[in-house]
């Protein structure tokens, strides 16, 4: 969650454990998102396909903990005891994991926007129409209209996140996604409402907030396992880490590609912040960092404001099967 959005102060990065953190492996208050666009997600693979990840971290609807990881299932990671400081297994050259075809890493919008360096000239999959569809789904839900029909953009499967921000300062308002590849039509429909209504860090979204919203769709691509925990580029790669905490339990956590750059963090600060978000409370040493299993990935990101959505819809009102009146335009207060 963003600094200033819910009264959460920006996280202080330190290799020392947070004060008063001698307790269990659950996330503490320091495990909240810091930074307006920080996206953190929970455990991968331990929750099964379709696990809902709290957008900038934690399992959706995750009760007391707003940290960015899930506890492992029973029998995973075993009880207390020592922590092996050996490097992660299968530590070879980066291994490309099974994902859709390679994609560029950008953060486009309807207006020209800065984008990350691209490995090639492959056409972007993410589009403004995807953000419009998310606005359609949310608008129809809040006003009780029939949900929009199947959109025209591609229905290929991708891991995805839907992020909502609000106001001129673009405070985080909700962000939940999944690392399980989902068909985009059903995936965006599901995570539009999940991120808007079920992010446990925020109350459900209301009609009054619509005119001040920004919607971002992130499609995750190019997953690679790497040996060196520093083998990723700030502003280009998202990272997902897996580590064994001080109680011997496996934990994972992630930051989307834009987080480190927007927070002004270097590699070490990002890794240490992610460990704290994952509930690691012991002192962070360089030896421990070397035991982290790190996966880097890229994303395609599109962001649309409510005003841009209205302008787009005024020209393509029925093109996407929308059967409800256009929402009234409201200027920002």
Question: CA angle 267-270-274, nearest 5°?
Answer: 140
Mean pLDDT (whole number) for 133-154: 94
What 3-state class would DSSP assign to 186? helix
Task: Give the model confidence (pLDDT) of 164-193 as tens digits.
Answer: 999 999 999 999 999 999 999 999 999 999
Task: Give the model confidence (pLDDT) of 193-248 as tens digits.
Answer: 999 999 988 999 999 999 999 999 999 999 999 999 999 999 999 999 999 999 99
Structure tokens at 109: 């919008």
299, β-bridge pairs: 220
Q: Give the pLDDT band of residue 331 (cuts 50, 70, 90).
A: very low
Evaluate whether 229 touches 266 at the Cβ level (below 8 Å). Answer: no
Helices (H), the chain: 128-143, 184-197, 258-263, 267-277, 286-289, 306-315
Sort 146 into a burial class: Cβ within 10 Å, 0-12 / 13-18 / 19+: exposed
Measured in whole angstroms, the distance separating CA 283 from the mean position of its chain's CA atoms is 26
**What pLDDT score was predicted for residue 315?**
72
**What pLDDT score was predicted for residue 276?**
95
Q: Is a pLDDT exceeding 70 seen at residue 93?
A: no
Domain boundaries, the chain: 128-221+301-316, 230-291
Give dist(CA 157, CA 49) in Å, integer. 13
User: Could you tell me the CATH superfamily of domain 128-221+301-316?
Assistant: Hypothetical protein ph0010; domain 1 (3.30.700.20)
| Residue-by-residue DSSP string for 103-152 | ---B--BSS-------SS-PPP---HHHHHHHHHHHHHHHHTPPPP---S
Task: Give the model confidence (pLDDT) of 254-309 as tens digits.
Answer: 899 999 999 999 999 999 999 998 999 999 999 999 999 999 999 999 999 999 99
Mean pLDDT (whole number) for 133-146: 95
Structure tokens at 178: 């999944």
């Amino acid at each position: 969650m963003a600094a200033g959005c819910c009264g959460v102060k920006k996280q202080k990065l330190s290799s020392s454990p947070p004060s008063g953190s001698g307790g269990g492996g659950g996330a503490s208050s320091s495990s909240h998102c810091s930074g307006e666009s920080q996206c953190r997600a929970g455990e991968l693979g331990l929750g099964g396909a379709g696990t809902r990840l709290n957008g900038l971290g934690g399992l959706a609807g995750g009760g007391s903990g707003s940290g960015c990881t899930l506890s492992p299932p029973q029998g995973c990671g075993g009880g207390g005891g020592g922590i092996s400081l050996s490097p992660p297994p299968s530590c070879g050259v980066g291994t490309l994991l099974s994902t859709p075809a390679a994609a560029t890493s950008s953060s486009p919008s309807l207006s020209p926007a800065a984008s990350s360096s691209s490995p090639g000239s492959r056409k972007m999959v993410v589009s403004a129409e995807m953000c419009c569809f998310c606005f359609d789904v949310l608008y129809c839900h809040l006003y009780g209209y029939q949900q929009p029909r199947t959109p025209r953009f591609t229905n290929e499967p991708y891991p995805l996140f839907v992020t909502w921000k609000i106001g001129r300062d673009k405070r985080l308002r909700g962000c939940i996604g999944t690392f399980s590849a989902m068909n985009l039509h059903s995936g965006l429909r599901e995570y539009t409402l999940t991120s808007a209504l079920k992010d446990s860090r925020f109350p459900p979204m209301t009609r009054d907030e619509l005119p001040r919203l920004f919607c971002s769709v992130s499609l995750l691509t190019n997953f690679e396992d790497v040996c060196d925990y520093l083998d990723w580029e700030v502003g280009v790669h998202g990272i997902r880490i897996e580590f064994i905490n001080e109680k011997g339990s496996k934990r994972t956590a992630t930051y989307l590609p834009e987080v480190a750059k927007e927070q002004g963090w270097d590699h070490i600060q990002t890794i240490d912040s992610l460990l704290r978000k994952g509930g690691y409370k012991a002192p962070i040493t360089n030896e421990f960092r070397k035991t982290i299993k790190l996966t880097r990935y890229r994303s395609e990101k599109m962001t649309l404001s409510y005003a841009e959505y209205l302008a787009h819809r005024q020209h393509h009102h029925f093109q996407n099967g929308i059967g409800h009146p256009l929402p009234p335009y409201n200027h920002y207060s």
